[in-house]
Amino acid sequence: MTENDWHHIWLSEGFATYLEACYADSLIAGRKLDASMADMRKEVVAYFERNRKPLIDTTITNNMNLLSTNSYQKGAWFLHMLRQEVGDSIFWTGVRKFYHDFRNGNAMTSDFQSVMEEVSGQSLTGFFHQWLEIPGQPVIKWSWSYNPTEKQVQIDVEQMQEQYCFTFKLPLELRGDSTDQGTSIPYQTVYYQVPITQRKVRIILPVDFPVSEIRLDPKTQLLFQEKKASK
| Domain match, 63 and 106 both | yes
> How many domains does the structure of the chain reveal?
2
| 15 and 34 share one domain | yes
pLDDT at position 185 is 57
Residue where a domain terminates, one of 132, 150, 181: 132
pLDDT of amino acid 85: 97
Q: What is the mean pLDDT of residues 36-46?
A: 97
pLDDT tens per residue, range 111-132: 999 999 999 999 999 999 999 9
Report whether pLDDT(182) > 90: no
Closest Cα to residue 115, out of 104, 127, 102?
102
Residues 114 and 17 both lie in one domain: yes
Under the banding of pLDDT at 50, 70 and 90, the label for residue 53 is very high
Same domain (yes/no): 122, 163: no
Phi, psi of 58 (to 5 degrees): -80, 0
Q: Are strands 152-159 and 200-206 parallel, antiparallel or unpaired?
A: antiparallel
- The span from the CA of 155 to the CA of 132, in Å, is 29
Q: DSSP assignment, residue 145?
A: E
Higher pLDDT: 29 or 220? It is 220
Q: In this structure, are residues 118 and 183 in contact, taking their beta carbons and an 8 Å threshold?
A: no
User: What SS3 state is found at 212?
Assistant: coil
Asked if residue 117 belongs to a domain, the reply is yes
Q: Are 113 and 144 in a shared domain?
A: no
> Mean pLDDT in the chain?
92
**pLDDT on residue 155:** 95
CATH number at residue 86: 1.10.390.10
**35: pLDDT strictly greater than 70:** yes
What is the model's pLDDT at position 163?
85
Which amino acid belongs to residue 92? W
Closest CA to 141 of 199, 223, 57: 199
**pLDDT (mean) for 61-77:** 95
Q: How confident is the model at residue 187 (pLDDT cuts 50, 70, 90)?
A: confident
Look up the domain containing 201 and give its range. Answer: 139-226
As to burial, measured by CB atoms within 10 angstroms (0-12 exposed, 13-18 middle, 19+ buried), residue 78 is: buried
Examine the fold and report which residue of 102, 132, 162 is the final residue of a domain before the chain moves on: 132
147 and 171 in a common domain? yes
When pLDDT is cut at 50, 70 and 90, the band that residue 47 belongs to is very high
In the chain, beta strands by DSSP E: 2-3, 106-107, 139-147, 152-159, 168-177, 187-196, 200-206, 213-216, 225-226
Q: Are residues 26 and 106 in the same domain?
A: yes
Q: Render the burial of 22-60: b for 16+ CB within 10 Å, e for the rest.
A: bebeeeeeeeebeebbeebbeebbebbeeeebbbbbeeb
Interval 137-143 mean pLDDT:
96
- pLDDT for residue 48: 96
Please tell me which residue, 57 or 29, carries the higher pLDDT value: 57
This prediction has a pTM of 0.92
- The CATH number of the domain where 213 resides is what? 2.60.40.1840
Same domain, residue pair 125 and 147: no
For the chain, state the CA radius of gyration.
20
pLDDT > 90: percent of the chain: 85
2: three-class secondary structure by DSSP = strand
Total count of residues recorded for the chain: 231
User: In this structure, is residue 231 part of a structural domain?
Assistant: no
Alpha carbon of residue 141 to chain centroid: 17
For residue 134, give the 3-state DSSP assignment. coil
What residues pair up with 182 in beta bridges, in sequence order? none
Asked if residue 144 and residue 122 are part of one domain, the reply reads no
pLDDT reported for residue 179: 57
Output the pLDDT for position 27. Answer: 86
143 lies in the same domain as 215: yes
Whether 68 contacts 48, CB under 8 Å: no
